[in-house]
Structure 1
Amino acid sequence: MLKILFFIFTFCSLICNGQGFSDYRLQYDNYEENDERAFKFLNLYIAKAKKETNYKELTQAYKDAVSFSKNDKIAYADSAIISAKRTYDNDILGSAYLTKGTVYYFNYKKFSPALDEYLKAWKLLEHSEDKYLHFKNLYHIGVVKRYLGYYVQSLEIFEKCIQFYGGKQHISYSNVKYNLKKGYLNSLHQSIISLNELKRYDEAVERINNGLSEVEGDLNFYLERSYLFKDKGIVEYHQGKYNEAIASFRNALSGIEKKNDFASASVVYFYKGNSLLKINNTEQAYRNFQRIDSIFVNHAFVLPEVRPAYEILIAKSNANGDIKKELYYTNQLLKVDKIIASDFKYLAGKIFKEFDTKDLIESKEKLEDSIFYGYIMAGLVLFFMIVICSLIYIRRKKSKDFLTLDESNENVDGINVDPTEEDSIPEKIFPKLSEQLVQDILAKLQTMEDQHFFLEKGFTLNKLAKKFKTNTTYLSAIINEFKGNNFNTYLNKLRIEYAAKMLAESKLWRSYSVETIASECGFTNRSNFSKIFTEIKGVSPNDFILQHKHVFNTEEN
């Protein structure tokens, strides 16, 4: 009863006494996000700012409205940008673009428009004296890089953010302390994800423990606690501690589902499902994988990380003889691949063109000219069609009905050669493979090349055959005939061409050590990488880097 009387008294005081802007904000500071009761005060705040033509306060009011609105977040974010432009203050405008980007990223998981807004903000905030805004923007660009799989680069960004947010800063205001701690915990969480992907689990565990001790007993950071338990579960899964992982995922889901972070929820469902499979609790495992599909249906969103869940569901449906479900999940997987191929490739181009290279930021529209892009794509499609048709024609003209395999015993970095595996297969004569099987495997090989699966360390022919649901003999024969090399040489060429492309295009890659470059491309040591790189490209990695540094410096001058 006292709370109700206090609320009525406060509300009346605001109307009658003409309170200041900070007084309005005090009335809704304790409301949860998406609690639209805050608009009782926000509407007064907005009206006062409009009446006084105070665009700085109006921008802040619209940004706050983004937090409390359920269905009009983008509309309020646009209003914040419009009013921010009238302040003629780069920090205020950059912050407004950040707000809109965060809505696209967190609420809708639309990475392409999110990145567009972050890049607009970066132009305004890169040299801002407001370091909090600068690092907030840098953090979000790091998140997009991490989603794209650039884990070394994203980790470097998050390390800088951790140092800033976690630094010893003498702050007296509680809200500023809260924002800095939140930035620190979020940066810590993102760095842990990158460390997990780089298989640096010991470092990840140390950071998880540090983070959990920071949030212990603090209800203000329940979501950050949930993220840390998600990270903990993933590490435990990779360490083979499946029961512990399942318990960690249960702790993670309560906060993640409350916040409706469906992207993180899908990752939890994926690893929880795999953990349940490992302990033979298959029915619960499949229910977790089905929840991933529910998220995809409801939000048209999927992460490449959870894609294998559909392969598991298809295999289960096939084993059960459930043709209807098998067809459904096959169609869903096709849709998933389409989204991954379009959205994530688009982002990869944007992140290198517009963030890493400043001169390309200014020529964005020219580089992304849709007509030019269309011509290039059409040309590539035509080229590959001609190549495939030529190969099929040559194959059909052969008079022999058998394939002769000529496998060599070349070693490839990062692969432990098993005498029963690919490169020690003795010369045998195998029945001629069906055209349908050949075309199916060639299509899958092209997907592997496009999505850079070959960068995985220890990537063997046996692993690839399992992924393609075929055997090593057929796969080896097709690679020999259609790729012109045995598996090891084929894999090395893909890795080296990827390394050369990144070194030619990315200034950041040219700053890496040869050891780091080798590791990023799937090699386990520098010497083998350097030897193979020199054989294929005709120059050593160091000379190749120096050549492109010279070209880059010449173009800049």
Structure 2
Amino acid sequence: MKCNLPVLLLLFLIKSLTAQNSPSTIPDSLIFKSYGYLDDKIYQYKNDSLKASPYLYAYLRKARREKNHEELVNAYQNMLHQSPMTLRLKYADSMVQTAVKSRSPELIGSAQLSKGIVYYSQKNYIKAYDYYIKANESISKTDNDYLIYKTKYHIAQIKYYLGFYDEAISLFNECVTYFKKNQARPYLNSLHSLSVCYNKIGDYSKCSETNALGLKECERLKIPEMESFFKHSEGVNQFFLNNYHTSIQLLQEVMPQLNSMTEFANESIANFYIGKNYWKLQHPAKAVPYFKKVEKTFDEKGYIRPDLREVFELMIKYYKKENNLKSQLYYIDQLLKADSILTDTNKYLMGKIHKEYDTKEILLEKEKIQQQLVKEKYYDVILISVVVVLFSAVIYGTYNHFETKKRNKIKFDLLLEKN
């Protein structure tokens, strides 16, 4: 989300977070408004943090005043969404701390998931995954399907990053089916992630088909801001179909719509594939400036993934052809640095994702099956008991009938003898 918070408002946000009372500039009358009213106003001004701030702090004050943990978590979450990246982790921390006080597994899991999402947006995959697992532990104790599938979606993102594409596709398909019913934005996010996975397994026709569906659904659901993500995905896909000019056109079209603060990963990917297109078209001099933008993101944000590391290999080839030994050595060091980060991150995540998530899911499934078997056994016992009682009643009734008939015959025979 793009943010237009001025410096003074940032200071205002930080000061207000720790203050006992909100600034006097916020009308007291707002505190007596309902949470629904305040939430509607916050949503109305979601793209204008300056106008939204009185309602954000009124919501926070109201929740603090009422000592309402659930609404206080919602207040911090609203502030998180309206804040720049530098402040989001602070509000996520406040969400988790408040949720823990509530002792509600649902609230705790939701807050932990939000903190994981903040780490993921910063491309800190290790911390993101750790909080996803904590969230999954809490949310699995609830019946909140929305949170359960939201967690599945974010675990699938980690699986995609690690290259477990088939497993990610399975989870994203589940999310598409669930979110399509009543959650438009998560539904589109799941569709987009699905298209990216199809590209990675080499099913380029399925990728294009999913992107076309995504664009159609953006129009139907009136969420135009998601269109750039499907065009971005299709731009990458067209590279693999050898349609280099089409790929360049699509990726350059969406570049201005990518916020360098929040979408630096997609921006880096777009730069990489524009460069790759030019490289394939035998224009290495045009490719190099785009590769350098990928390197800049790596240096500033630490963002790298297995396919992007090729940037450094191509730069080494380029400068080798130019007989530039100094630049060759520099990019060899960059390549080694990227490999080190990828190895450390992937080794940590691969070791934990199967141990802590997949095994957990298997155990949960086992528990569900065991509970089902217990229920079935219980119902079987009841059914057998009912059958036994009914059978016993029939046997007793039949026996009683014949005994009565026998006694009546004896009485009849005695009476006949007397006569």
Q: Is 1:191 matched up with 2:194?
A: yes
Which of 49, 53, 60 lines up with 2:63 in the alignment?
A: 49
Q: Is 1:151 matched up with 2:153?
A: no
Name the amino acid aligned to 1:261. Answer: E
Partner of 2:105: 90
Q: Would you say the 8 A contact 1:354–1:361 is kept in 2? A: no
**More off after superposition, 22-31 vs 94-103:** 22-31
Q: 2:109, 2:140 → 1: CA distance?
A: 10
Name the amino acid aligned to 1:72. Answer: L
Q: Deviations over 1:512-550 (max 9, x none)?
A: xxxxxxxxxxxxxxxxxxxxxxxxxxxxxxxxxxxxxxx
Distance 1:34 1:114, change over 3 A: farther
**More off after superposition, 151-160 vs 197-206:** 197-206
Partner of 2:359: 357
Partner of 1:458: none
The alpha carbon displacement at 1:36 in A equals 5.7
Name the amino acid aligned to 1:65. Answer: M
The alpha carbon displacement at 1:79 in A equals 0.8
Q: Is 1:205 matched up with 2:173?
A: no
Q: Would you say the 8 A contact 2:26–2:54 is kept in 1? A: no
Name the amino acid aligned to 2:325. Answer: I
Partner of 2:136: 122
Distance 1:17 1:144, change over 3 A: closer
The alpha carbon displacement at 1:186 in A equals 0.8
Q: 2:259, 2:89 → 1: CA distance?
A: 22
Partner of 1:308: 310
Which of 275, 278, 283 lines up with 1:276 in the alignment?
A: 278
Distance 1:188 1:120, change over 3 A: same
Structure 1 segments (4+ residues) deviating >6 Å: 359-362
Q: 1:27, 1:76 → 2: CA distance?
A: 20
Q: Deviations over 1:182-202 (max 9, x none)?
A: 111111111111111111111
Q: Would you say the 8 A contact 1:98–1:121 is kept in 2? A: yes
Partner of 1:61: 75
Which of 87, 90, 93 lines up with 1:78 in the alignment?
A: 93
Q: Would you say the 8 A contact 1:49–1:55 is kept in 2? A: yes
Partner of 1:229: 231
Q: Would you say the 8 A contact 2:316–2:327 is kept in 1? A: yes
Q: Would you say the 8 A contact 1:34–1:69 is kept in 2? A: no
Name the amino acid aligned to 1:313. Answer: M
Q: 1:37, 1:86 → 2: CA distance?
A: 31
Distance 1:117 1:37, change over 3 A: farther
- Superposed, 1:104-119 pairs within 5 Å as 104-106=119-121, 108-119=122-133
The alpha carbon displacement at 1:76 in A equals 0.9
The alpha carbon displacement at 1:146 in A equals 0.5
Q: Deviations over 1:298-322 (max 9, x none)?
A: 1122111111110111111121122
Q: 1:57, 1:283 → 2: CA distance?
A: 55
Distance 1:127 1:140, change over 3 A: same
Partner of 2:36: 22
Q: Would you say the 8 A contact 1:355–1:361 is kept in 2? A: no
Q: Indicate the structure whose relative CO is greater, using CA pairs within 8 Å and at least 6 residues apart.
A: 2
Q: Would you say the 8 A contact 1:36–1:69 is kept in 2? A: no
Q: 2:363, 2:352 → 1: CA distance?
A: 9
Q: Would you say the 8 A contact 2:30–2:55 is kept in 1? A: no
Q: Would you say the 8 A contact 1:104–1:111 is kept in 2? A: yes
Q: 2:129, 2:241 → 1: CA distance?
A: 34
Partner of 1:298: 300
Q: Which consecutive unaligned segments of at least 5 residues does structure 1 have? A: 1-10, 170-179, 363-506, 508-557
Q: Would you say the 8 A contact 1:155–1:191 is kept in 2? A: yes
- Superposed, 1:495-534 pairs within 5 Å as none
Q: 1:219, 1:36 → 2: CA distance?
A: 26
Distance 1:292 1:17, change over 3 A: closer
Partner of 1:246: 248
Name the amino acid aligned to 1:75. Answer: K
Partner of 1:390: none
The DSSP-based 3-state class of the residue aligned with 2:323 is coil
Q: Would you say the 8 A contact 2:245–2:277 is kept in 1? A: yes
Q: Deviations over 1:471-495 (max 9, x none)?
A: xxxxxxxxxxxxxxxxxxxxxxxxx
Q: CA RMSD in A?
A: 2.4
Q: 1:41, 1:102 → 2: CA distance?
A: 24
Distance 1:111 1:88, change over 3 A: same
Name the amino acid aligned to 1:59. Answer: V
The alpha carbon displacement at 1:218 in A equals 7.0
Q: 2:48, 2:112 → 1: CA distance?
A: 20
Distance 1:109 1:269, change over 3 A: same
The alpha carbon displacement at 1:247 in A equals 1.0
Size of the aligned set, in residue pairs, is 340
- Superposed, 1:103-502 pairs within 5 Å as 103-106=118-121, 108-167=122-181, 169=182, 180-216=183-219, 220-222=223-225, 224-257=226-259, 260-358=262-360
The alpha carbon displacement at 1:33 in A equals 6.1
Name the amino acid aligned to 1:213. Answer: K
Q: Would you say the 8 A contact 2:169–2:197 is kept in 1? A: yes
Q: Would you say the 8 A contact 2:169–2:194 is kept in 1? A: yes
Name the amino acid aligned to 1:294. Answer: K
- Superposed, 1:543-554 pairs within 5 Å as none
Name the amino acid aligned to 1:103. Answer: V
Distance 1:109 1:36, change over 3 A: farther
Q: 1:129, 1:267 → 2: CA distance?
A: 38
Q: Would you say the 8 A contact 1:229–1:248 is kept in 2? A: yes
Q: 2:261, 2:180 → 1: CA distance?
A: 25
Name the amino acid aligned to 2:152. Answer: L
